Amino acid sequence: MFCPKCGSLMYPHGGKLVCHKEGCGFERGMTAKDSAMSRVLTEALEPPEPLVLDEIAGALPRTRIECPKCGNFEAMWYMRQTRSSDEPETRIYRCTSCSHTWREY
């Protein structure tokens, strides 16, 4: 889901993943994992389906943040892209220990 050339987020376009960064334009075919990930990133599922998250868990970045449920200090995260531009982007965290999922505004 991230461009191997420049590291920007790639977007699905016509069955392929395309890097939108100016001057890059890298493209590659979509895999099943990519489609699962774009589902999570673009659909308005609140909270996201745990099963879909499991599919893409290995591809998500991790960060050190305290889980409000179990106190574990590592979580995966991603940005939820909202449909309307006046809504702020939401960051979703998922604990790597207990799989608790929460949002930050």
- Give how far Cα 28 sits from Cα of 5, 12, 50, Å: 11, 10, 27
Nearest to 29 by CA among 8, 42, 43, 15: 15
Tell me if 45 contacts Zn ion by CB under 5 A. no
- State the pairing for strand pair 10-13/16-19: antiparallel
| Closer residue to Zn ion, CB minimum distance, 28 or 69 | 69
Residue choice 9, 11, 21, 90 for contact with Zn ion (CB under 5 A):
21
| Closer residue to Zn ion, CB minimum distance, 26 or 43 | 26
Residues near Zn ion, by CB under 5 A: 3, 5-6, 8, 19, 21, 24, 26, 67, 69-70, 72, 95, 97-98, 100
